[in-house]
Amino acid sequence: MRRLLPSVGTGLVLVLALSACSLLDRVRDIAAPPSTPSVSASETPPEGMDGTERFYAQTLTWSDCSGGQCATLTVPVDYAQPDGATIDLAVLKVPATSRNRLGSLVVNPGGPGGSGVDYARYAASGGVVSAAVHRRYDVVGFDPRGVGRSAPITCLTDEQLDAWLAQDPTPDTSAEVVASGEQARAFADACRATGNPLLGHVSTRDAAKDMDILRSRLGDAKLTYLGKSYGTYLGAVYAGLFPTHVGRMVLDGALDPRLTSEQINLGQAVGFERATRAWAAECAASGSCPLGGDTDTVMAGLADFLYQLDSAPLTRTGDPSVPALTEGWASYGVAAAMYDQGMWDALTQAQAAAKRGDGGPLLDLADRYADRSPGGGYQGNLMQVIYAVNCLDKPESADLGERVAQAERLTAQAPLWGRFLAWGSLACGDWPQPGGTPPPEPTAITAAGSGPIVVIGTTRDPATPYEWAQGLAEQLENGTLISFDGDGHTAYLRSNTCVDSAVDAWYLEGTVPKADLRC
């Protein structure tokens, strides 16, 4: 599950602030400094968190840093042995500007592997929540365990990761299938060889437990939260573990916890197929599409282009560290553009360049997807830790015959993206599991006893299909769904006043969106 950060990476997010305060409120805000939270010396750990008293008693020490105030939160490596080794999680707070502060709003941009610290930094410029919401809340981001600045998990060098992303993502011969199996095992073995004890303890369940300790140390009785993409799964798992600690929670671009790994692969394959057809229709309608004059012709042209790259990569990229645009790199470039329709024109131009033998523009899009710097080097460890988390969350098979069969099943419903998504999670079949115990089977999350939880789904979302949001809202005991009829990944702060107004009213006034709100 990938979450591209348009607010950070492309600057496409528009801020539509609500005028939630009166002029008198604004004058009062200017006249007095923001209030500061009163944090209790300690909090009794909730059920299921035995032995964690010292973590719920710690004090966060804040210091000025780039974009806000920084602190570290100490948590156990293994919650089954809370007296054992610990790690420090990086936390960043952008303080509220109003003296009528409502509390802290914890944010997660997705991934798994997205940096909450980097995401929260954009709160002051309106890239995370509306200006009205930020006035009343400290916006807090943290790098989950294994991510970014929080004991990051890395198994491959930058050069090895380049090769991993360049590999054939759609094996269609016996030799290519065998090669894919060997590459997947090599990745898992590289992680196993690090001997990192944290490798077996970066599941979403572990991160949710960390988030409850963070909530406590921020001084909030309940967690106010914004999760996007994978961040919705983190929020849902939190709600299932700590339902009475759920405050004003928004899950945007939702994942259905009941889904198996194959069902997730299928959902994303269909979602990306749907989004790519929408781009193809717009490209064809422009009258100057480099791949054809109607939707089906454009889709066929794109499929042919990717297939040709399998055996004949483009050798002009402008990046000496990636001298050839392979099918793998090109596929990531196309996928990146599906996250936001504002990038569709860039994809069309990249296809035109590729027709001229220039793979540079498509590689630029792929770099955005991979959080990679042009010319080489990665800005974070997202493209490695994403496997570490996903492989602990969902059971997978290493059987190559089963993977071939899955690819056929997915391709029947998503001709362009089915094989790509089916093979993308193969590494998890050989992943080192703690104690040799396989991940738990997927199950519904009801969060019985929680307050209202707002779920948002976008009808043509490629990465988290709308049906997943429907499923999550339905299984939550107190879920309510906002449906956004639109393109791209996630909805809040993507220039839709209907969605933005409903979310802001929930955060600022506690007003639950009306049932089955459609925007």
pLDDT tens, position by position, 496-519: 999 999 999 999 999 999 999 999
DSSP 117-145: HHHHGGGTTTSSS-HHHHHHEEEEEE--T
What is the reported pLDDT for 437?
Answer: 84
Q: 457 pLDDT exceeds 70?
A: yes
Alpha helices in 356-396 (DSSP H): 360-370, 382-393
Domain ranges of the chain: 6-40+91-152+205-257+446-518, 158-195+260-377+397-430
- As to burial, measured by CB atoms within 10 angstroms (0-12 exposed, 13-18 middle, 19+ buried), residue 509 is exposed
What band does 494 get if pLDDT is binned at 50, 70 and 90?
confident
Average pLDDT score over residue span 34-60: 85
Comparing 13-17, 310-314, 399-403, the range with the smallest average pLDDT is 13-17
What is the reported pLDDT for 38?
Answer: 58
Say whether pTM exceeds 0.95: no
pLDDT tens, position by position, 366-389: 999 999 999 999 999 999 999 999
Q: 130 pLDDT exceeds 80?
A: yes
Average pLDDT score over residue span 349-364: 98
What is the reported pLDDT for 436?
Answer: 79
Q: 23 pLDDT exceeds 80?
A: no
Q: Write out the catalytic residue numbers.
A: 229, 461, 489
Q: 433 pLDDT exceeds 70?
A: yes
Strand partners, 68: 65
SS3 91: strand
Percent of the chain predicted with pLDDT > 90: 90
Percent of the chain predicted with pLDDT > 70: 92
Q: 462 pLDDT exceeds 60?
A: yes
Residue 285: CB atoms within 10 Å: 11
Phi and psi, residue 481, nearest 5°: -105, 130
What is the reported pLDDT for 434?
Answer: 86
CATH architecture, domain defined by 6-40+91-152+205-257+446-518: 3-Layer(aba) Sandwich (3.40)
Comparing 5-9, 166-170, 173-177, 203-207, the range with the smallest average pLDDT is 5-9
Strand boundaries in 153-296, DSSP class E: 223-228, 246-252
